Amino acid sequence: MAQIIDGKAISQAVKDRVGKEVAELNEKRITPGLAVIIVGADPASLVYVGSKKRACSALGMYSEEHSLPENVSQEELLALVECLNNRSDINGILCQLPLPKHLDEKSVINAISPEKDVDAFHPANVGRIMIGDYDFLPCTPAGIMEMLVASNIDVSGKHCVVIGRSNIVGKPMAMLMLHKNATVTICHSKTKNLSEICRQADILVAAVGRARFVTADMVKPGAVVIDVGMNRPDGILCGDVDFDEVSKVCSSITPVPGGVGPMTIAMLMQNTLTAAKRQNGIV
Ligand code: GUN
């Protein structure tokens, strides 16, 4: 049986670290502030936004939620972003994705001030990640790197295979692993011989969005398996990895729930702290 990488415990350690720094800022009368924009009432998005707000208040940060109706116009949404960009009590702005189809996600991301872009989705921040000179790292890939470090898993020289090429997870994940000297392969829906490539992975990251997509025959014995999936095929949360079978083959694995999910929120808190420090002239 594989070692279970405990995202709850590791994320708590990150939050404890962030909370200590927030307390120091509070003594200087600085309260990091996060604004979360949510459009419509997608149940999964509502759950994520609730968790983000609770994490802020537990760490002594200010947060506010802007809940906009499903049919909000692009102009109204951009006007809100502009207003939040100009407020000094708001250090971080996050617009929960995906947005309803009639809205242009790209122009909303572009409208968020790069200094307040705690998701690191703005092209300026994405570009900085490419060259390895960044303030913010995208929360999910950053959380995965943090988990690997906390579990004493060194990626240097390893073959890391990332399944999924999204801007939120797959692409930045590959880049962060590359920065740490991994040899990285990105697989996607058009990849030929997917199972064969996955079987070559020392570290396999599944960010596909399909329940139990990674089966035991796709995993090299002794590999590390990171499951980014959040699927609810029968209303029950499960990952992209067939946990019961894969955990018999691999050396370490992240569970769902209790794996990558809590890390994402902890890294968002870290980014909000970094934003507040930068905006107040603290390194
Ligand atoms: N939707 C799913 N994951 C994320 C995330 O990390 N940030 C935002 N803004 N939306 C998401």
Q: Does residue 283 form part of some domain?
A: no
Residues 98 and 176 in one domain: no
Indicate left, alpha or beta for 129 from its phi (over 0: left) and psi (-120 to 50: alpha): alpha
**What mean pLDDT comes out for the span 178-188?**
98
Give residue 35's domain range: 30-113
Residues 109 and 158 in one domain: no
Residue 80 — φ and ψ, nearest 5°?
Answer: -65, -45
First vs last C-alpha separation in the chain: 44
Q: Could you identify the atom of ligand 1 that is nearest to the CA of residue 119? A: 7
Sorted by sequence, the CB contacts under 8 Å of residue 98 that are 6+ apart come out as: 42, 105
**Mean of per-residue pLDDT scores for the chain:** 97
pLDDT above 90 (res 283) = no
Q: Does residue 21 form part of some domain?
A: no
Residues 103 and 180 in one domain: no
Q: Whose CA is nearest to atom 2 of ligand 1?
A: 97
pLDDT above 90 (res 65) = yes
Task: Provide the whole-model pTM.
Answer: 0.97
pLDDT of res. 214: 98
For residue 170, which of 191, 152, 154, 200 has the smallest C-alpha distance?
191
Alpha-carbon distance 178 to 76, whole Å?
Answer: 39
- With a pLDDT cut of 70, the percent of the chain lying above it is 100
Contact 252, 224 (CB under 8 A): yes
**What confidence tier does 186 reach under pLDDT thresholds 50, 70, 90?**
very high
CATH classification at residue 244: 3.40.50.720
How do residues 160-175 score in pLDDT, each as one tens digit?
Answer: 999 999 999 999 999 9
pLDDT above 90 (res 240) = yes
HSE-CB of 248 using CA atoms within 13 angstroms: 6
CATH classification at residue 89: 3.40.50.10860
Residues 151 and 247 in one domain: yes
Residues 104 and 176 in one domain: no
Alpha-carbon distance 62 to 59, whole Å?
Answer: 9
Q: Whose CA is nearest to atom 3 of ligand 1?
A: 97
Q: Could you identify the atom of ligand 1 that is nearest to the CA of residue 45? A: 1
**What confidence tier does 50 reach under pLDDT thresholds 50, 70, 90?**
very high
Q: Does residue 168 form part of some domain?
A: yes
| Ligand 1 site residues, Cβ closer than 6 angstroms | 94-97, 119, 139-140, 168, 264
Q: Does residue 88 form part of some domain?
A: yes
pLDDT of res. 163: 98
Distances (CA, A) of 162 to 50, 150, 187, 211: 29, 20, 6, 16
**Residue 214, strand partner residues:** 241
Residues 162 and 222 in one domain: yes
> H or E element: which one contains 253?
strand 252-253
pLDDT of res. 15: 98
Residues 91 and 158 in one domain: no
Q: Does residue 280 form part of some domain?
A: no
Of 96, 113, 130, the residue at which a domain comes to its end is 113
Q: Does residue 220 form part of some domain?
A: yes
pLDDT above 90 (res 178) = yes
> Rounded to the nearest whole angstrom, what is the distance from the C-alpha of residue 46 to the centroid of ligand 1?
11
Residues 106 and 215 in one domain: no
Of 95, 113, 131, the residue at which a domain comes to its end is 113
> Rounded to the nearest whole angstrom, what is the distance from the C-alpha of residue 9 to the centroid of ligand 1?
22
Residue 96 bears catalytic tag: yes
Of 38, 48, 103, 110, best ligand 1 pocket probe by most atoms within 8 Å of the beta carbon: 48
- Catalytic residue (one of 15, 52, 116, 277): 52
Number of domains in the chain: 2
Structure token digits, residue 206: 């599944």
